[in-house]
């Protein structure tokens, strides 16, 4: 079973996370309603089991909570993927949401990189700072060993843009982690 269970405690956040690449229940409590909504969408479209409980320093703002969840989710993804043998590795997805259209292309290459090109027309979505999506994606990419490119082609509503980004990440991750072969998906012989 490709699963991982992690806990991480710092002076800023306390995180408990269980991830399964084989599916399962989704239960997310970060203290930021919109972030829960995004992570739930990501897990659902990613075909992932995800249990996540976070106590963050939200009296400061959401930055530590969102970035640290990205770190721990990325670490869990890396652990669950193991030696990455036989995975499809690459995937991409265009996802619209109402007036917004977003795109994700990714590669579980073990070469972390983020390209993020999405303007957010509104600075806040509920209690969630729109600028935190890029921080989350960077932390997730760096810690999971993912080359991740995301782009918003157009959109007027930051909720729709952000949701299309998280859904496209989920759809692409679901495809990329599928085991379709037996060897390592690299001409180098190792990922």
For Mn ion, the binding residues (CB under 5 A) are 163
Burial status of residue 39 (CB atoms within 10 A of its CB: 0-12, 13-18, 19 or more): buried
Closest distance to Mn ion from the beta carbon of 90 (Å): 28
DSSP 113-137: EEEEE---SSSEETTEETTHHHHHH
For Mn ion, the nearest residue by Cβ is 163
Closest distance to Mn ion from the beta carbon of 67 (Å): 22
DSSP 16-50: EEEEETT---EEEE-S-HHHHHHHHHHHHHHT-EE
> From CA 6, how far away is CA 167, in angstroms rounded?
24
Closest distance to Mn ion from the beta carbon of 95 (Å): 13
- Tokens representing 75 are 């670490």
- Minimum CB distance to Mn ion smaller for 68 or for 163: 163
- Minimum CB distance to Mn ion smaller for 107 or for 163: 163
Closest distance to Mn ion from the beta carbon of 112 (Å): 28
- Minimum CB distance to Mn ion smaller for 34 or for 103: 34
CA angle, corner 169, sides to 167 and 173, nearest 5?
Answer: 120
- Minimum CB distance to Mn ion smaller for 129 or for 163: 163
- Minimum CB distance to Mn ion smaller for 67 or for 163: 163
Q: Which residue has the tokens 């203290």?
A: 31
Closest distance to Mn ion from the beta carbon of 50 (Å): 17
């Amino acid at each position: 079973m490709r699963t991982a269970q992690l806990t991480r405690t710092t002076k800023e956040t306390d995180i408990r996370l269980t991830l399964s690449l084989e599916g399962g229940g989704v239960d997310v409590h970060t203290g930021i309603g919109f972030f829960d909504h995004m992570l739930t969408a990501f897990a659902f479209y990613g075909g992932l089991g995800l249990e996540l409980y976070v106590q963050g320093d939200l009296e400061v703002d959401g930055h530590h909570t969102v970035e640290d969840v990205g770190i721990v989710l990325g670490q869990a993804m890396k652990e669950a993927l193991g030696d990455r043998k036989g995975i499809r590795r690459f995937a991409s997805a265009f996802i619209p949401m109402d007036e917004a259209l977003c795109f994700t292309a990714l590669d579980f290459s073990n070469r972390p990189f983020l390209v993020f090109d999405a303007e957010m027309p509104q600075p806040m979505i509920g209690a969630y700072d729109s600028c935190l999506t890029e921080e989350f994606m960077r932390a997730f990419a760096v810690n999971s060993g993912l080359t991740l490119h995301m782009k918003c082609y157009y959109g007027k509503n930051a909720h729709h843009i952000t949701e299309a980004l998280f859904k496209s990440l989920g759809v692409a991750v679901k495809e990329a982690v599928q085991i379709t072969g037996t060897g390592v998906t690299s001409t180098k012989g190792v990922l």
